[in-house]
């Protein structure tokens, strides 16, 4: 699926429609997991300094035998690096850790509103992009009012907003805003962190009906609603299975999955999160 399927970004770049997330993969296991993912066909790898595995991701890219331009690499500005100088330094540190000249997409990891510097940080990302230090820039965990603030104050619409998103927290209002502004939604914890969601009876029934696993049903739902899921797994067979999404959900299944929204996060609240 990911090898042949892409989404268009509003800056003219193309991004794989499914990615591999490495949050919570311990550094010692990350190189093997990313190599498994690249071998399985993933071409989007999502990391961040806060995951403490950028070096290990870089080692996998170096050992993969793939050309750099075959991999779409994403990293993020940590909260402690908001502001002009710190953001530039953080970007150089990420590139060095990853062993690359540039990432493909660079995001502000969290709005960290109490720091009051996300607009300045966004202006810095835009400047770096204008200097051709990376192809695309975007946001992560921005709520509608943070997003509107950034766009109104800078006039630059991000290519992507990466947020927590799964059937129990499907963020319809934010997705609508993204669609109106041409922003692609990336989903972190697309499987609801592998908890209760994957044993939900409604999803089990849809899985039986389609002859697929619950995880495949959830990931296919992301594709159907137009979000780019970034599933994490440290297990080779689940890494592979999570990319076998070349099937369609019937319309009833999409409606049933949409109806599971509880409007409650599993992860931190972007309004207050300070990692
Ligand atoms: P594991 O790494 O052992 O495969 P999310 O991407 O939503 O954060 O979910 C990640 C969690 O879901 C991890 O605990 C991962 O465990 C688990 N997971 C990933 N893929 C599958 C799958 N196909 N079936 C069941 N659990 C999965």
Of all atoms in ligand 1, which is nearest to the CA of residue 23? 8
- Give the model's pLDDT for residue 275: 72
- CB 233 near ligand 1, within 6 Å: yes
- CB 234 near ligand 1, within 6 Å: yes
Q: Determine whether 118 is an active site residue.
A: no
- Condensed to tens digits (0 to 9), the pLDDT of residues 73-115 reads 999 999 999 999 999 999 999 999 999 999 999 999 999 999 9
Q: How far is the CA of 156 from the centre of ligand 1 (A)?
A: 35
- pLDDT surpasses 90 at 131: yes
3-state helix, strand, coil in the chain (%, to 5): 45, 15, 40
- Condensed to tens digits (0 to 9), the pLDDT of residues 40-63 reads 999 999 999 999 999 999 999 999
**Mean of the pLDDT values across residues 244-268?**
97
**Mean of the pLDDT values across residues 235-251?**
97
pLDDT band at 2 (very low <50, low <70, confident <90, very high): very low
- CB 199 near ligand 1, within 6 Å: no
Distance CA 35, CA 30 (A): 8
- CB 154 near ligand 1, within 6 Å: no
- CB 160 near ligand 1, within 6 Å: no
Q: Going by C-beta distance under 8 Å and a sequence separation of 6 or more, which residues neighbour residue 218?
A: 166, 167, 190, 191, 192, 197, 198, 203, 257
Give per-residue burial for 199-224: e unless 16+ CB within 10 Å, then b. Answer: ebeebeebbeebebbbbbbbbbbbbb
Give the predicted TM-score (pTM) of the model.
0.97
Of all atoms in ligand 1, which is nearest to the CA of residue 241? 23
Q: What angle do CA 189, 141, 215 make, to 5 degrees?
A: 15
Distance CA 223, CA 238 (A): 18
Nearest C-alpha neighbor of 141 from the set 160, 167, 116, 119: 160
Q: How far is the CA of 166 from the centre of ligand 1 (A)?
A: 13
Of all atoms in ligand 1, which is nearest to the CA of residue 192? 7
Distance CA 157, CA 192 (A): 28
Q: How far is the CA of 194 from the centre of ligand 1 (A)?
A: 5
Residue of 51, 91, 106, 118 marked active site:
51
Distance CA 128, CA 68 (A): 20
- CB 232 near ligand 1, within 6 Å: yes
- Please indicate whether residue 89 or residue 3 has the higher confidence score (pLDDT): 89
Of all atoms in ligand 1, which is nearest to the CA of residue 21? 6
């Amino acid at each position: 699926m990911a090898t042949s399927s892409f989404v268009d970004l509003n800056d003219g770049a193309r991004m794989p429609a499914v990615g591999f997330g490495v949050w919570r993969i311990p550094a010692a296991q990350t190189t093997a997991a990313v190599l498994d993912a690249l071998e399985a066909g993933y071409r989007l790898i999502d990391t961040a300094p806060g995951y403490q595995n950028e070096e290990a991701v870089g080692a996998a890219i170096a050992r993969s035998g793939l050309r750099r331009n075959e991999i779409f690499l994403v990293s993020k500005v940590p909260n402690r690096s908001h502001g002009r100088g710190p953001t530039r330094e953080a970007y150089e540190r990420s590139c060095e850790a990853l062993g690359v000249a540039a990432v493909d997409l660079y995001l502000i990891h969290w709005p960290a509103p109490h720091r009051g510097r996300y607009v300045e940080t966004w202006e810095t990302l835009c400047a770096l992009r204008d200097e051709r230090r990376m192809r695309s820039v975007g946001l992560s965990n921005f709520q509608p009012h943070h997003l509107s603030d950034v766009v109104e104050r800078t006039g630059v619409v991000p290519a992507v907003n990466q947020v927590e998103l799964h059937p129990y927290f499907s963020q319809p209002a934010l997705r609508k805003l993204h669609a109106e502004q041409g922003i692609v939604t990336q989903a972190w914890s697309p499987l609801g962190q592998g908890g209760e969601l994957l044993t939900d009876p409604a999803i089990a029934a849809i899985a039986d009906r389609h002859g697929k696993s619950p995880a495949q049903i959830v990931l296919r739902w992301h594709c159907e609603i137009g979000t780019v899921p970034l599933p994490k797994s440290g297990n080779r067979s689940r890494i592979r299975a999570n990319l076998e999404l070349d099937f369609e959900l019937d319309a009833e299944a999409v409606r049933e999955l949409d109806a599971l929204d509880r409007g409650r996060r599993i992860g931190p609240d972007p309004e207050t999160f300070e990692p």
